Amino acid sequence: MAKIHATSREGETKELDVEPSGDNLMEILRDNDFEIEAICGGVCSCATCHIYVDEAWASKLPERSDDEFELVNSTEHYQENSRLSCQIPFTPELDGIVLTVAPED
């Protein structure tokens, strides 16, 4: 098992034990009741799975696509470490990742 350190919008942090099967972070967060709506189902056409990834993990993530950047940049709560959780597969390299669910727009 691998770990995800996730903080909810309310500031509650949970340590999730997850098998790094390649499921994206959106699916894992949604399945663990982290208020991720995922309206588009994970096809990078909304920003309802917006998260902030701790900067220490940025270099381990896949590069942000132009579409992903456009979506997170258009939110009220954009930060440099904004990502769409649907665009990040949870692989063994991300064991221990630290993230926070962004405020809802």
Domain residue ranges of the chain, discontinuous segments joined by +: 2-101
Q: How confident is the model at residue 21 (pLDDT cuts 50, 70, 90)?
A: confident
Average pLDDT over residues 32-57: 95
Query: From residue 59, how far is each of 1, 55, 56, 78 by CA, in Å?
Result: 22, 8, 7, 19
- pLDDT value, residue 22: 83
Question: Strand ranges (DSSP E) for 34-102?
Answer: 50-53, 82-84, 97-101
**CATH code for the domain defined by 2-101:** 3.10.20.30
1: confidence class by pLDDT, cuts 50, 70, 90: very high
